[in-house]
Amino acid sequence: MGKFDGKVALITGAGRMRGIGRYAALAFAKEGAAVTVTGTGRDPSTFPDDEREAGWLDVDSVAKEIVKNYGVGALSLVVDVTDPAQVQEAVDRTVAEFGRVDFLVNNASASRMAAWAAFEDLTPEAWRHVMDVKVTGAFLCTQAVTKQLLRQGGGGSIVNVISVEAKISRATDLAYATASGALYTFTKKAGRALAPHGIRVNGISPGTTDTARNDSLYGYPRSQDWDDRLQTIPLGRAGTPEEMGNFAAWLCSKEAEFIVGQCIEIDGGQSA
């Protein structure tokens, strides 16, 4: 018996082989939940070498892995989280496939380099893109899932994947850090607003984590810059996507049912 037997989770940004979204999806499935995994429908020509060598198929691979390893239902969808119609369709298809939805993990985010620029060179388009995906996307997904949870009754749980960059931002990471700060505030406010309905909203703020998202900054295999970055972490190592995904799932469990509106840094002491 798993702690999520009979439950259904929807995970955004879940298509990367070395990604938090994938491992969050696996963590829910391991405990018995059916899972909908969404991604942007990445062009395979942009996949990193390890994904190409593995014959990786983005969210389809995650869904197949869930069914094969855990024997629960899995649905893979291409979704633009900034489009309200596509977000609603994802919720509707999840309910049509599995009969309900209980958990949401808002992990979708713009690419690490989408707005990586000096302040004076940061374009409105890049700024808007990062804000739209990380903040507006989380709002749209949370609202759509909340409406379904209210129809179902019985509450539910939502986890936003923020970033420690909200507290330790670098000068060239302004848009991403600001979006992370906005998502932090959204988590606090939504947590307060939805708790009376039995819907818990919390957030995790990963520190430097060894995911594909960091390839654009540190290469893969990792460069000396990566080793230098690890020296800024008191624990002396990066986080793993498994750690982040497992904790996101745990926040949805009964063991965490008195935790509301919290944004928990998982960063090896990086923001301490």
CATH of the domain at 190: 3.40.50.720
Any domain includes 271:
no
Task: Identify whether 272 is part of a domain.
Answer: no
Residue 176 annotated in active site: yes
> Which of the residue ranges 30-34, 100-104, 167-171 would you say has the lowest mean pLDDT?
167-171
Q: Could you tell me what percent of the chain has a pLDDT over 70?
A: 100
Per the structure, the count of domains in the chain is: 1
Give the DSSP letter string of the chain.
--TTTT-EEEESS---TTSHHHHHHHHHHHTT-EEEEEE----GGGS-HHHHHHT--THHHHHHHHHHHH---EEEEE--TT-HHHHHHHHHHHHHHHS---EEEE-----TTTT-S-GGG--HHHHHHHHIIIIIHHHHHHHHHHHHHHHH-S-EEEEEE--THHHH--GGGHHHHHHHHHHHHHHHHHHHHHGGGTEEEEEEEE-SB-SGGGHHHHTTTT-HHHHHHHTTSTTSS-B-HHHHHHHHHHTTSGGGTT--S-EEEESTTTT-
* Any domain includes 181: yes
173-191 per-position pLDDT tens digit:
999 999 999 999 999 999 9
Judged by average pLDDT, the poorest of 112-121, 194-203, 237-246 is 112-121
> Annotated catalytic residue: which of 23, 70, 176, 184?
176
Query: Is residue 3 assigned to a domain?
Result: no
What's the one-letter identity of residue 133?
Answer: V
Is residue 153 one of the residues assigned to a domain?
yes
- Domain range spanning residue 231? 8-266
Please indicate, yes or no, if residue 158 is contained in any of the structural domains: yes
Q: What's the whole-model pTM score?
A: 0.98
Q: Is 140's pLDDT higher than 90?
A: yes
Looking at the predicted structure, is the pLDDT value of residue 169 above 80?
no
Q: Would 66 be classed as within a structural domain?
A: yes
State the pLDDT at residue 168: 87
In a domain, 72, yes or no: yes
